[in-house]
Amino acid sequence: MKRLLQRCLLGLLSLSMCVMTSGCWSAFEIQQVDYAKAFGIDYKDGMYHLYVQTLDFASVAKSESSTKSADTPPVWVGHAEGKTMSLALNELFRTAQLHMAWGHVTAIVMAEGVLTSKHIKEVFDMLGRFPESRYTTWVYGTREPLEKILSATSIYNMSPLDSILHNPLPTYMEESLYPPVLSFKLIATHNDPATTTYLPSIALNNTQWAENQKKHDLFLIEGAFFERTGVNFEFLPRSQLPGYHWLIKDMRRAPLLVQKDGTIYGALSVGLPKIKIKPVIQGEEVKFNIDAKYLTALYEYLVPTSYEEMIQISEVKLREQIMQSYRHGLERGVDIYGLQEKLYRKNPKLWRKLSNNGSKMILTEESIQDLKIHLTIPYTGKYKRKV
């Protein structure tokens, strides 16, 4: 009798545990889920505009497969508007036919309208507050229509995930002009009043690549947005940033044309920088000394010249490009090289006084007191130098 009672109690306990244990009641089948992979944000006419790029599971799986389909993977873009971003998002849910999963978003694109408005803080607040958002999402600015950006497809009928929008690192490793930005870094720099917030500007190009003689829109980085001191973002195109990348510590390689007085001597691939920026404080006046060293490779050698002369021409050219970009930034009220942050790290009290707690630019054209450039060319390709 005692043993029977023990068995009954054990059975009741097991049954109660089965009832209380949670199961996958809220799970959705893969084919019943809309996977959001990118979304765009704009602000115009007093309303937030939200664009969402969604892909079905087959399109997402394409990036993991070596086989290519003969059909272009479908890309769906939804659009809704609201007085706040949350209301715009809920407006989008009204016409969503499937459950939307937000944990797979890999790219966020902000239009120029929201970057240059006073509502950029609300955008950053939601990016950090939304529970399904990840801090490892690539973030861009753009001057083109968001619907056009999010509707672009990749090459060879590959998944849209195989593009600069969702995976910018392969292109950046080839030409390190504008470093990609992850959302955690963007939020960190935006919350730091001494740091210049930077965003690469993504655009579409349909002049360089064609499929069977038919032009195809493909992504490129056309320039960058920089947060102006105490205001909003300013856009600088490629033409005004010829030397911006030379003072990026993570730069892998970038081309440099060796040219003087109209004569092109060759082309170098410059990389592996070692950069030191030191603020020099004299009373309440601040100057900056910059020391930059690079290793280069000679891939084109068109006009014979001595090693010393090629180094001299290259260093002068590189210095000119750095200063040219610096001046263009100052004209727009932007500290593109983040010099003010160096002062803040060394003497925060003086920085607060000179910049009025970050609301005023403290740089002038004479702020860069000394700019030293050192180039070496250890690699000349398969051929040795003749002189």
Q: Express each pLDDT in 250-305 by its tens digit.
A: 899 999 999 999 999 999 999 999 999 999 998 889 999 999 999 999 989 999 89
Q: How far is CA 369 from CA 29, 253, 279, 288, 290, in A?
A: 63, 26, 9, 5, 8
Mean pLDDT (whole number) for 351-357: 92
Q: Distance (Å, rounded) from C-alpha 308 to C-alpha 306?
A: 5
Task: For residue 73, give every residue at least 6 positions away whose Cβ sits within 8 Å of its Cβ, in sequence order, or none.
Answer: 55, 58, 59, 62, 153, 157, 158, 159, 160
According to DSSP, the β-strands at 198-205 and 210-211 are: unpaired
* 333 dihedral zone (left: phi>0; alpha: psi -120 to 50; beta): left
Instruction: Enumerate the β-bridge partners of residue 52.
Output: 39, 78
Cα 179 off chain centre by: 6
Q: How far is CA 241 from CA 176, 189, 198, in A?
A: 13, 21, 13
Amino acid making up residue 292: A
CA-wise closest residue to 103 among 49, 160, 170, 28: 28
The answer to whether 135 touches 182, Cβ cutoff 8 Å, is yes
The answer to whether 325 touches 243, Cβ cutoff 8 Å, is yes
Helices 183-190 and 120-129: angle between axes, nearest 10 degrees = 130
Asked if residue 65 has pLDDT above 70, the reply is no
Helix, strand, coil share of the chain (percent; to 5): 30, 35, 35
For tokens 């930034």, the residue is 329
Mean pLDDT (whole number) for 221-246: 92
335 is written with which tokens?
A: 């500290």
According to DSSP, the β-strands at 138-142 and 181-182 are: antiparallel
Higher pLDDT, 345 or 387: 345
Residues 371, 372, 378, 379: what is their CA dihedral angle, to the nearest 10 degrees?
20
Amino acid making up residue 165: L
Q: Express each pLDDT in 18-45 by its tens digit.
A: 555 555 555 566 666 788 899 999 999 8
Q: Express each pLDDT in 75-103 by its tens digit.
A: 899 999 999 888 998 898 888 888 888 88
The answer to whether 74 touches 157, Cβ cutoff 8 Å, is no
Amino acid making up residue 117: S
Asked if residue 66 has pLDDT above 50, the reply is no
For tokens 């950029």, the residue is 120
Full-model pTM: 0.87
pLDDT for res 25: 54
Number of residues in the chain: 387
With vertex at residue 173, the alpha carbon angle to CA 171 and CA 179, rounded to the nearest 5 degrees, is: 80
The SS3 assignment for 146 reads: helix
- The CA R_g of the chain, rounded to the nearest whole Å, is 27
From 120-124, 217-221, 297-301, the region with the lowest mean pLDDT: 120-124
The answer to whether 368 touches 290, Cβ cutoff 8 Å, is yes
The SS3 assignment for 294 reads: strand
